[in-house]
Amino acid sequence: MTRPAFETLSLHAGQESPDPASRARAVPIVATSSFVFDGADHAEAVFDGTADGNQYGRMHNPTVAAFEERLTALEGGVRTVALSSGQAATTSLLFALTRPGAQVVMSKEVFGGTFSVVRKLLEPWGCRVDAVEPTPEAVAAAVGPDTVGVWVETIANPSLSVPDIPALAEVAHAAGAPLVVDNTWGCGGYLCRPFELGADLVAHSATKWIGGHGTLIGGAVVDGGRFDWQSDRFPAFLARDARGRTYLEQSPEAPFAARVHDLGLFTMGMTLSPFSAFLALQGLETLPLRVQRSCAAARDLASWVARQPGVSRVLYPGLSGHPGHEVAARVLKRGFGAVFCFETERVELARAFLDRVEVASHLANIGDAKTVVINPWTTTHSSLSEAARIEAGVTPALIRVSVGLEAVADLKADFARALAGVPAEL
């Protein structure tokens, strides 16, 4: 049988047939902390990995496993580990990758929470992180013999530039390092499938388009299964555990996922609840439809906003004037994303806009079925210094819009009212 299309996988992968116990068509929520063993031999075998079975809810749960399998299929990877948040996915991935003395080359435009892991955990631990422009030239200049990873996001926030993943993969591989893509903005693989473009590892915040309704916090790490970890640069993959096995021996097809499972779940306990996994599965079922529609609406609304009085600039990779349009057209499939940013001529107008919108919600999230707006300067990026914010493309009058599923005409009416009539003295 040929590989089913993305739309089919988003409904069926991870649960090909109804639940055998109940005949339920939906994936059941298995709300249990623990699982009964068949006997002493079975318990021992499950714990030493020689028999299939669920050890304990911190590491294993059937609802979570169905979500993991579905995401693996959608991303075209070999194994996914679901975690309690996107932040947990980032943290586990970085700790699985790095060690004191190692270097990571990171796009200087990554999500602020990712920099928190760097500044508060990795650097004090002795790992060096160099933040550079996510261009092949800048990354090539930064990598060296200690580089253990190159980290970029599919669409940078808020400049909305799109790194050239194939070119970056070549640079990373030439330096002996894997390319990691935080593909949160790639919408579960619908807009971007980094493994097809040469990336080795993918991270996700499932809180955004995967969940898709602003109802859960979750994350995932997907192992592409192609990177060769047998090198002195990655001693953790050659080390033996108490049972005398390396990650490569435990899981030859996905040793990185095995290490993330060990660190993120077994050791740090950043487990996704089965309830959240169920919501993520529900989200995935409609993800293709939602993302397609939100991308079309974002393009329409972004071009319309660009023509409104008081608006000085619009950033959207789908507009031909965007500096990253050409790369975006190569790297993104099926759409240019559901987020655009605009800047008003005056800061007061941006603030008044946020106070006056009624259809759009003013909150700190993206990827919701409802349209959401925020001023990154005073919120999501406010923990960065002013200079760092400017450097990251965040300006005081910038508004980020994550377009949902409302009728575009209603959004235009809402935005027109919110932008109009702000007194000049404001």
Ligand X SMILES: Cc1ncc(COP(=O)(O)O)c(C=O)c1O
CB closer to ligand X out of 85 and 251: 85
CB closer to ligand X out of 113 and 136: 113
CB closer to ligand X out of 62 and 86: 86
| Least distance CB 419 / ligand X (angstroms) | 26
| Least distance CB 378 / ligand X (angstroms) | 16
| Least distance CB 103 / ligand X (angstroms) | 21
The residues facing 398 across adjacent strands are 343
Residue type, 176: G
Rounded Cα gap, residues 179 and 193, in angstroms: 13
CB closer to ligand X out of 113 and 396: 113
| Least distance CB 84 / ligand X (angstroms) | 8
The residues facing 220 across adjacent strands are 82, 204
Q: Token digits for 161?
A: 């530039």
CB closer to ligand X out of 248 and 401: 401
CB closer to ligand X out of 134 and 219: 219
| Least distance CB 310 / ligand X (angstroms) | 28
Q: Token digits for 202?
A: 């993918």
| Least distance CB 205 / ligand X (angstroms) | 3
| Least distance CB 307 / ligand X (angstroms) | 29
With b for 16 or more beta-carbon neighbours within 10 A and e for fewer, the 204-241 pattern comes to bbbbbbbbbbbebbbbbbbbbbebebeeeebebbeeee
Rounded Cα gap, residues 383 and 204, in angstroms: 22
CB closer to ligand X out of 175 and 217: 217
Q: Tokens 């990251």 appear where?
A: 392
CB closer to ligand X out of 10 and 207: 207
> Which residue number has the CB closest to ligand X?
86
Residues that bind ligand X (CB under 6 A): 85-87, 90, 111, 113, 153, 182, 184, 205, 207, 217, 219
| Least distance CB 114 / ligand X (angstroms) | 6
| Least distance CB 51 / ligand X (angstroms) | 33
CB closer to ligand X out of 73 and 203: 203
